[in-house]
Amino acid sequence: MIEDLVQMANQIGDFFRSYPSQAEAAAGIADHLRRFWSPSMREKLIDYAQRDGRDLSEPVRAALALLQAPAERS
**Interface contacts to other proteins, rule CB under 8 A:** 1, 4, 8, 11-12, 14-15, 17-20, 32, 34-41
The least distance separating other proteins from the CB of residue 1, rounded to whole angstroms, comes to: 5
Q: Which is nearer to other proteins, 36 or 58 (CB)?
A: 36
Phi, psi of 69 (to 5 degrees): -55, 165
Q: Which is nearer to other proteins, 1 or 54 (CB)?
A: 1
